[in-house]
Structure 1
Amino acid sequence: MSTDYQRAREDLGRRLRELRVESPDGRLTGVQLAQRLGWQQSKISKLENGRQTPTDADLRAWADATGQPAVFAELRGRLKGFESQIRSWRRQLSAGHRPVQETWNTLIRASRTLHMWENSTVCGMLQTADYARCVFEHYAELQRSPRDTEDAVRVRLQRQEWLYEPGKQLELLMWEGVLWAQVCPPSVLAAQLDRLLGVVGLDTVRLGIVPLDNGLRLPPANAFCVLDERLVIVEDWHAELWLDDAETIALYRRVWDTFAESAVFGTEAQQVIARVRRSLKV
């Protein structure tokens, strides 16, 4: 967790403690507030000490229980301010995968150029429906989120219309390990690799593959996307990081350029994909 994020969470915790202590009904102990809210006292402690991130509902309940409902807007503003950079999957997936995909579609539609690095799964911009379905099912199980797989697949595939719009450009690098990853049945993976072979010559796509036996100047690390040099989105197990400061964006572009030095493109990329495709027993 970033230092800035944790500091902001601790600041919010101190504000919550102030509201409890300065309640118009008189100073409340943590135990008394927990009883009013029907929570465990440990939750009160975690929130006040910056060891747990509150939800909007938590903040509204806290403001009401301390007799200061008008302060909810301030608390919510604080929360949104520091969550703008770290967007936990727990929160984002509380209503399923479809809302997350709709947010991505909005971002992509507003972008002209995408620089993407993928080291674990095929980029969503090029996924087949069956491959996307497998990925969503895996993550829904991991995150214990609502299952809205078919809606999520449909919205993700809508995003791919962007690839056929004039003036758009997808600069995509993938580690060869992505092509081998059995995140779906072999028949689904075979169709996905066929899809990749078919987009190599697309005008709006430049697909580079970093072969497993090519030297790397950096570890593969996390997948990320740079949108028009204005925003970087990095994926981790617990959250997406949305980073918009110029220095960080420039850093990720240097990372992308470094991986590109190890990549093969065009016919050579097709040969790598085809070699993996032939190895599948389907």
Structure 2
Amino acid sequence: MKRIIQVACLLLILAACKKQTASLENPIDPNTVNIIVQATSTPNVYRFINAQIGKTAVAKWDLGNSSTATGDTVLGKYPFKGDYVVSLTVFNGITAVTKKVNLSLTSDNFDLDPVYGLLTGGAGAAAGKTWVLDSLSDGHVKLINNNSNTPWNKLLKTGKGVYDDELNFKLANKEVVYKNNNSSYCHGGTIDGIAQYRLKELNANWGTTTSATADGGDLQIAYTPNKPIQHWTMQVRNGKHYLQLYDGAFFFFYRGQADVIEYEITSISENEMVVTHYENLPASRASLLWRDVYLVIKKGYVRQ
């Protein structure tokens, strides 16, 4: 009998210590749902805590940096300076309650995003990192839409002003230099009834073309970018990196855009990178989901 009483007492104690969560009978006051923000020892890394820790169902977070998380305590990493809105959503026993907090960062911490280092060589690479087309691989350029996939086989465009082109990216000042040895390659067909549409667009927004030689539906051009040193920026959207080029630089085959051209970094490693350009001008090409895929490698890299 004594042992039975002891067990019963233990069960009562455990029941009393059991975590009390929100319920219809005992809802949490929405005004007490808040976010606790803690800086960590790493710049631009913050800890976010559900102020009702242990009292709600699973806490769901939108960290404002294209990332989401669950749990009462989560970490947010912010490689780029700027303003972010962090939101927490919990169930208070009756309904979902969302609270938000603003986070303002005045400096970058590129070490938090390896893509920056892989693209440029990192802060320690004063000379930057140079990329070229992988001309020795089949499919180093693929021109794709809803109905077709046209790859360039290895060395297909030898002597056409494309394989000697280089893009040098630096982390400092986000500089990029498009070295084309005075010759580039450009989409040059008739689009929407406008003869040599891309060439006109290129001259209007990107640089100066002094001559053009037809190569099928495209053009080999004598081209000089608007500025001797061009620039780049990068955005992360829905977990993907998007690289924007300005001032006359592009990935080796001009396929169209206004005064900035954007590429999705589809994959990247120390020696290889795949970038995809989704065409949005003119509307006739955007409607067919034209995208252009480029396989590039670090200059000097030789596949084994």
In the superposition, the TM-score normalised over structure 2's length comes to 0.25
Structure whose alpha-carbon radius of gyration is higher: 2
RCO comparison, higher one (Cα < 8 Å, 6+): 1
More helix per residue: 1 or 2? Answer: 1
More strand by share: 2
Tell me the TM-score normalised to structure 1 length.
0.27
